[in-house]
Amino acid sequence: LSQRLNQYAAAINRNFPYQPDMPSLAVIGQGVAEMLANLAGSAVTLPDAELHLSITDPEMYAAFCEARARAAAADAVAAEERQAQEQRDAIAREAALRGTYPGPHVELSTPHLLLKAPAPGGKDVAPITLTNTGTTALTFSWHRAPAAPASLAAQTAAAAAAPPLPCFQLARAEGVLLPGHTHTTDVIFSSAAPGVFSETWELQAHPEVRGADGGPVLLSVRGLGTPEDASGAARAAFADDLAEAEKMRKVRAALARIIADVAPPPEPRTPDVNGDAETAFDAANTGAEPPVYWPGPEGYAALAALYTEARDALIATKAPPVEEDPNKA
């Protein structure tokens, strides 16, 4: 066998070339089993669902495509509307920065007013300002808006009664307003009787202007007529008395706090005769040579008595002699 293997070794090598080292081989890539496992655990996407639906149910897939097309068209329309609104908002912001708007536009300082005055005879005044925020000159005038229709009974009662006098007046109810200019007028309220009164005034202009809500520019005014107070003087006097009593109460409280914060004076100090004498003695003999020390209360008393005796003797020696009168018997 060895002889035959050696004899046909060349032919064997040609028919069975190099045999690889199987334990050292490595598989590059992904096996079929692993690939199937990954596909089974992966998320299902919309294209995968569409593909599956197109294969399993073509009619439903066609309805789905039609609904998607309608939704895309609606989204496109909404996007165009948003873009147009953004453009309008940009134009409005730019106009607001300039303070003007193209065409006739006005701005009222306030659409509501509340006034109060004693009745009868009282008067209350409040200003309103109209601003031309557009680019067109305006002629305008204020007019009372017609009242809301009342019931038949109310109309009958109103017809039988005397016509009410107007409670509200505008000092300057008309004028011309140039672009960027303002017009200020006073609303005057006065009532002949106590009560609550209201009116609505409408702005009429040429060219026509509209409010922010698309309707006419309106001014709503409301007035309160208060009855005369017969006890006003007595109540005012009582209020003054209360104020005076409160002021005195505060003054008394402030004085009590001040007195409570004042500290009592210290008690008078009993003079220390010995201590004062010692202090005066030390001050008088400071720097004496030889040094002189405080002799104590008894020694100081003896020295004081000796000093007094010596001073009296010195005074006696220096006193002039007394001459006797020879005529004196």
- Summarize pLDDT for 200-253 with one digit per residue, the tens: 999 999 888 887 777 889 999 999 888 876 677 788 888 889 999 999 999 988
Residue 135 pLDDT more than 50?
yes
Q: Which of 10-14, 62-66, 246-250, 320-324 has the lowest mean pLDDT?
A: 320-324
What count of Cα atoms within 13 Å lies in the side-chain half-sphere of residue 243?
6
Percent of the chain with pLDDT over 70: 80
What is the pLDDT confidence band of residue 101, given thresholds at 50, 70 and 90? low
Residue 163 pLDDT more than 70?
no
Phi (first) and psi of residue 62, to 5 degrees: -65, -40
Across all residues in the chain, what is the average pLDDT? 79
Give the mean model confidence (pLDDT) for residues 289-296.
78
Residue 162's pLDDT is what?
45
> Position of tokens 């006097």?
237
Residue 271's pLDDT is what?
46
Residue 152's pLDDT is what?
47
pLDDT, tens digit (0-9, with 9 covering 90-100), for 136-155: 888 999 999 887 654 445 44
pLDDT, tens digit (0-9, with 9 covering 90-100), for 33-74: 777 777 777 777 888 888 888 888 888 888 889 998 999 999
Residue 310 pLDDT more than 60?
yes
Residue 127 pLDDT more than 90?
yes
Question: In what order do the strands lie in the sheet containing 138-144?
Answer: 112-119, 218-227, 195-206, 138-144, 174-177
Residue 203 · residue 209 · CB < 8 Å: yes
Phi (first) and psi of residue 288, to 5 degrees: -70, 145
> What predicted TM-score, i.e. pTM, was given to this entire model?
0.41
- When comparing pLDDT for 167 and 212, which is higher? 167
Give Rg (Cα) of the chain: 60
Q: Which of 64-78, 182-196, 295-309 has the lowest mean pLDDT?
A: 295-309
Sign of the dihedral through C-alpha 146, 147, 148, 151: negative
> Position of tokens 């789905």?
64
Burial of 81 (0-12, 13-18, 19+ CB in 10 A): exposed
- Identity of the amino acid at 67: A
- When comparing pLDDT for 90 and 16, which is higher? 90
Q: Compute the distance between CA of residue 78 and CA of residue 72 in angstroms, rounded to an integer.
A: 10
Residue 6 pLDDT more than 80?
yes
Burial of 173 (0-12, 13-18, 19+ CB in 10 A): middle
Sign of the dihedral through C-alpha 226, 229, 235, 237: positive
Question: In what order do the strands lie in the sheet containing 106-108?
Answer: 106-108, 124-132, 182-189, 168-170
